[in-house]
Amino acid sequence: MKQKKYWQSFGELKSSENYQERVQDEFGEDLSTDNQDLMGATAPRRDFLKYLGFSTAAAAAAASCEMPVKKSIPYLNKPDSIIPGIPNYYATTYVMDGDAVPVVAKVRDGRPIKIEGNELSAITKGGTSARVQASVLGLYDTARLRYPLAAGKEVSTFDAFDKLVAEGMAKASGSVVLLTGSISSVTTRQVIAQFLAKFPGSKHVQYDALSVSGLLNANAATFGNRAVPSYDFSKAKTIVSLGADFLGTWLSPVEYARQYAAGRKIDQKNPEMSKHIQFESMLSMTGANADDRFVHLPSEEGAVALALYAALGGSVSAPALADERLKKGINMTAASLKASGSASLVVSGSNDTQVQIIVNAINNLLGAYGNTIDWSATLNTRQGDDAAMVQLVQEMNEGKVGALLIQGVNPAYDYCDSKKFESGLAKVAVSVSFNDREDETSVLCKFQIPDHHFLESWGDAEIKTGYLSFIQPTIAPLFKTRAFQTSLLKWSGDQQAYGAYFKAYWLNRFGSQSAWDKALQDGVVETAASASAGSFNGTAVSAAATAIAGVKSPAGKQLVLYPKVAIGSGKEANNPWLQEMPDPITKATWDNYAIISFATAKELGIVVDDNYEVEVTKPVIKIKVGQTEMSLPVLVIPGMHKDVIAVALGYGRSEKSGRASANVGQNVFPLVSFNGSTFSYAAGSVAVEKTATTFKLAYTQTHNQYEGRDEVVREYALSTFKKNPTILADERHKLVEDYASNTGDYAAEGTLYPSHPYPGAKWGMSIDLNSCIGCGACTVACTSENNVAVVGKSEVLRAHEMHWLRIDRYFATYRDDSGNDNLDDLNVVFMPMLCQHCDNAPCENVCPVNATNHSSEGLNQMTYNRCIGTRYCANNCPYKVRRFNWSDYMGADSFADNQKAILDDSVMMMNEDLTRMVLNPDVTVRSRGVIEKCSFCVQRLQEGKLKAKKENRPLETGADGKWDIKTACQQACPTSAIVFGNVNDKNSPVTKIRSEEQTNRVFYSLEQIHVLPGVNYLAKIRNTDRHVGVAEEAHHAAAPAGEHASEPKTEAAH
């Protein structure tokens, strides 16, 4: 009998011996496919029934026989401050990779489980970033080094370790060098000074992988102060950024995002907002938020600054720029800056000293110093000196360094010439690493003594002059780690531990225990000085101008190396939450890649057709810079300069850096170059060629489509909005006329279903698209608060990501009269999308088991234990916000690790006992086969309500700034774009936004389908003269832009 055969693997097709053997194993057989002789089939019906019966019985027996005996073990001696089940909050500070953010750690039953911003801080006002939100997971990182090592072997005690180091140092000849990141801590600086004093000839080198040396050097040249002044974006009417991603990664993004959003919020009665113009080479998150945006080659960054300076009347001759659009843009920018005068701010992300000197000259010319730029408080989180680092590496190679102590930096990975660093390190007699894991540098060091995580540490950070933020431990050290300051104290002969040293120092400075206690409790002590303009010295300007004028644009493609918002320089790369957070622009996860323009794609013969975005398999290109070759997958993104290739830093970590970061992407730090005084994150003369290989990139923007419905976002030009403030309100009014002509009640008349009564609270949310910068802090905060699963790259590729809150990115380009799409004229809109908690929810009435239904408080409730996984609700959701547990991502199954072969190792890492300590005990861990989605943080709603009940008072939902309840996304948002509250409370901000303050900008996504969402949005307003929104001739209704580009298809599908 000849049998038709389906096969899954070659083994099966060829019926190899090995394969035959394997299929004899249990559950290995084929399904019976022949319909002629059922009893003769390999798995006849009777066998099937036998197996079914046996497995049912076995499962029943395994599940039911006995209840496990559980124990309740109370404290022996319960600390006064702890009530099991009630979280404690400790103010502390996130200090990592040049960011310092005052935070509050939520500690539940002794475990830190969530990080919030510290609202008492004047710098951040409670804002956070994705990295801050994710940092709590870093505490439970399985790759952390758990004990000190000497020559790769565990040292049993710290005393033994100290002895070994002391012996080594005594023998070593040459200087002692301490290599750290930027140190903003007052006491640590003092400890370091004490240590250096003990060893004559020793020095301290500060090295930042993402350097701002150029800015520091320029300030040293023009203000005599090698520091970063305070910027105030909220005071600026015109903001010009020359390639600075100040909302995402530049200097102090959380602070700047808050200030920036303050100037972008629209008062309906007097609609004014700042104007933001961005000049850049690639599309950054900040550029995506700009009102007007111009692209240039990386080699032209100086020329653009110089041209702007000349256009403003600076006494320099403007260099020739070829691009007409760019030239027009510079003139337009100059006009806008002149109009704003001292209420202007120009920043540059360049690490070139000369460029920064010109930028300083521009700001000086405008009178920005003393107004939008303040020299009274300088930022201390970036002090690295590139030249000093280069010199150190030179000295190491020359054998002049006897001992090298490395803390918080990883030059073997992120130094531009890491080979030279490694060869130098080999020549150092005593090399000590305080890094938290066996990273690329630590494994080369003779001694490793891991430092605490910041949540286990004492410490302080003087983020800006006069702005102190303290670090206090929220948990006892999990491993045998020691504060690196303690080590320095010990090795300099001071026997006290850093904790005691630190407390003694501050107690002395504050003068009394109560003042010190208060400082520690608040977390921040801030003394603002009156603004200072500094004294500008312009002597360096003409030399800088000459130097810039001498720069020639090299031929060929140019390369830009940029840090991603989530990953930065890669220090926290082993954080699955950050790896899985979609990049704001590319929406790609778990990889870095070469971003290229359409023009470059065309040149390389890469077809960008309708399927381009849907297809995850991407061609790989080979780029060659100097002698370094690298093969990277490509992503085509509009808004790139046509000859620029951009690649993210921070990827390609070593095997020992952790299971989530190992071998993810490629390390492009070797492409960074040193120009004699600073590092350069760009390269010219890049040779590019397409290879035959392909690579799968996991990006999320093509998932969760709106089925062609395009009234999801709304965007208007400021001028349009001023001229016709009710443009959106009128359109919404028309809906009422069309669908509810009798009563005028759109909610009630537009449906056959009865409406829900909301006798008490009715929860609602308002999201301001003007304030949303797309940073993703909300996404990670939601992940952290709600135990959202990490699914790993392989599952993201299959559109199985679980984020309850995603940020949709829309591109919008326009077509000119001749039918060509102008890719330069690009608008990007970010829109947070989460369950809309519809009052007329389409998901609710399709559930066969009523697992999702409506609460009397307006919540669309999801009951996991009722869910049988039909996924009808997800199909019927117009917003595509429901997530299905395709696999046992959280290890909720009673059989541990049964998904090991199916899921990525990073997911298994999340299910280790150590990592699971981060789970929120108030939120159920979902099992396989159920749907989940945003719950409006119902655990917080219940907690807030109970708090009010216990205090016998009405609930506070934001009236007069009093909040019992904030959702995780709202609390994390650095720009306060998200407002949540009780819409039945007339005084709550969300009600006021809807009914008084923003009536002209309020809209509901897809309002015409009458699902009555509980989340409203405020239309995006762009302060530009360009055309914004949908061209009338292109579309009958005001739909989001971007629908209309066709050749090439510029819009990444919604």
Partner 1 sequence: MNQKRTVFQKYIPALVLLVTLCLSFSLQAQDGKALFNNKCASCHAIDKKLVGPALKGVEDRWDDKAMLYDWVRNSAAVIKKGYPRAVAVYNEYNKVQMTAFPELKDADIDAILGYINTGGAKKDEGASTAAAGGADKAGDDDANLLYGILTLILAVIALILLQVNSNLRKMSDETEGTASAEPIPFYRNKAYIAIFAILLFLGGGYLTFQGAQGLGRSKNYQPEQPIYYSHTVHAGVNQISCLYCHGGAQESKHANIPSVNVCMNCHMGINEYAKGPKIYREDGTEVDGTAEIQKLYKFAGWNPDTKQYSGEGKPIEWIRIHNLPDHVYFNHAQHVNAGKQQCQTCHGEIQKMDEVYQFSDLSMGWCVNCHRETKVQFTDNKFYSIYEKFHEDMKNNKLDSVTVEKIGGTECQKCHY
Binding site for partner 1 (CB under 8 A): 63-64, 67, 69-78, 83-86, 757, 759-761, 853, 855-857, 859, 861-866, 922-925, 935, 938-939, 942, 945-946, 948-950, 952-955, 982, 984-985
- State in angstroms the smallest separation of the CB of 134 from partner 1: 23
Cα dihedral across residues 605, 609, 611, 612: positive or negative: positive
Output the CA–CA distances (angstroms, integers) from residue 146 to 158, 451, 452, 571, 913, in the order listed: 13, 10, 10, 18, 15
Compare residues 599 and 948 and give the one whose CB is closer to partner 1: 948
Strands (E), 643-746: 644-648, 673-674, 679-680, 682-696, 698-699, 715-717
CB of 939 to partner 1, least distance (A): 6
Which lies closer to partner 1 via its Cβ, residue 489 or residue 859?
859
Alpha carbons 202 and 175: distance in angstroms, whole number: 5
In angstroms, rounded to a whole number, what is the distance separating the alpha carbons of residues 176 and 166?
A: 12
* Complex with partner 1: residue 50 or 986, whichever CB lies closer: 986
For 335, residues 6+ apart whose C-beta sits below 8 A from its C-beta are: none
> Could you tell me if 665 and 567 are in contact, meaning their C-beta atoms sit under 8 angstroms apart?
no
**Which CB atom, from 390 or from 847, has the smaller least distance to partner 1?**
847
Spatial contact of 521 and 196, defined as CB atoms under 8 Å apart? no
Q: Please give the Cα distance from 998 to 1018 (Å, whole number).
A: 7
Three-state SS at 570:
coil
CA atoms of 826 and 814, how far apart (whole Å): 8
End-to-end CA gap in the chain: 52
Task: Kindly tell me the sign of the dihedral angle through the C-alpha atoms of 16, 18, 19, 24.
Answer: positive
Q: Using the minimum distance from each CB to partner 1, give the nearer residue, 3 or 865.
A: 865
Considering the complex, state which of residue 990 and residue 1018 has its C-beta at the smaller distance from partner 1: 990
Nearest 5°: CA angle at 868, between 866 and 874? 100
Do the Cβ atoms of 585 and 699 come closer than 8 Å?
Answer: no
Q: Could you give the angle at the alpha carbon of 668 between the alpha carbons of 662 and 669, nearest 5°? A: 100
In this complex, which beta carbon is closest to partner 1, that of residue 673 or of residue 853?
853
Three-state DSSP string of 873-936: HHHHCCCCCCEECCCCCCCCCCCCCCCCCCCCHHHHHHCCHHHHCCCCCCCCCCCCCCEECCCC
Separation CA 695–CA 385 (nearest Å): 38
Nearer to partner 1, 82 or 528 (CB): 82
Closest approach, Cβ 882 to partner 1, in A, equals 15
DSSP annotation string for 36-70: S-TTTSSS-HHHHHHHHHHHHHHHHHHHHS-PPP-
> Could you give the CA distance from residue 98 to residue 383 in angstroms, rounded to a whole number?
9
Nearest distance from residue 91's CB to partner 1, in Å? 22
Shorter beta-carbon distance to partner 1: residue 542 or 942: 942
- Report in angstroms how near the CB of residue 945 gets to partner 1 at its nearest: 7
The half-sphere exposure of 806 on its side-chain side, counting CA atoms within 13 A, is 29
How near is the Cβ of 969 to partner 1 at its closest, in Å?
Answer: 16
Collapsing DSSP states into helix, strand and coil, what is residue 169?
helix
Residue placing its CB nearer to partner 1 in the complex, 439 or 922: 922
CB of 935 to partner 1, least distance (A): 6
Single-letter amino acid, residue 253: P
Q: Which is nearer to partner 1, 207 or 763 (CB)?
A: 763
The nearest distance, CB 142 to partner 1, in angstroms, is 24
Residue 673 or 939: the one with the smaller Cβ distance to partner 1 is 939
Q: Which residues are 117's β-sheet partners?
A: 103
Q: Using CA atoms, how far apart are residues 616 and 589, in angstroms rounded to an integer? A: 12
Minimum CB separation of residue 949 from partner 1 in Å reads 4
Of 518 and 866, the one with the shorter C-beta distance to partner 1 is 866
Report how far Cα 509 is from the mean position of its chain's Cα atoms. 37
Using the minimum distance from each CB to partner 1, give the nearer residue, 26 or 80: 80
Contact, 831 vs 1017, CB < 8 A?
yes
CB of 892 to partner 1, least distance (A): 9
**DSSP class per residue in 582-611:** PPTTT-EES---EEE-HHHHHHHT----TT
Nearest to partner 1 of 64, 512 (CB atom): 64
Between residues 158 and 864, which has the closer beta carbon with respect to partner 1?
Answer: 864
Work out how close the CB of 874 gets to partner 1 at its nearest, in angstroms, rounded to a whole number: 18
SS3 annotation, 514-567: HHHHHHHHHCEEECCCCCCCCCCCCHHHHHHHHHHHCCCCCCCEEEEEECECCC
Residue 767 Cβ vs partner 1, minimum distance, rounded to whole Å: 22
In order of 340, 404, 415, 498, 541, the CA distances from 447 in angstroms are 56, 10, 20, 20, 47
- Kindly state the smallest distance separating residue 902's Cβ from partner 1, in Å: 23
Closer to partner 1 by CB, 436 or 922: give it: 922
Work out the burial of residue 158: count CB atoms within 10 Å of its CB; fewer than 13 is exposed, 13-18 middle, 19 or more buried: middle
Shortest Cβ 594–partner 1 spacing (Å): 43
State the nearest-atom distance from the C-beta of 664 to partner 1, in Å: 33
**Half-sphere CA count of 175, side-chain side, radius 13 A:** 18
- Residue 235 and residue 251 in contact, taking contact as beta carbons nearer than 8 Å: no
What Rg value do the Cα atoms of the chain yield, rounded? 30
The minimum distance between CB 66 and partner 1, in angstroms, equals: 10
Closer of 536 and 864 to partner 1 (Cβ): 864
* Cβ 884 to partner 1 shortest distance, Å: 18
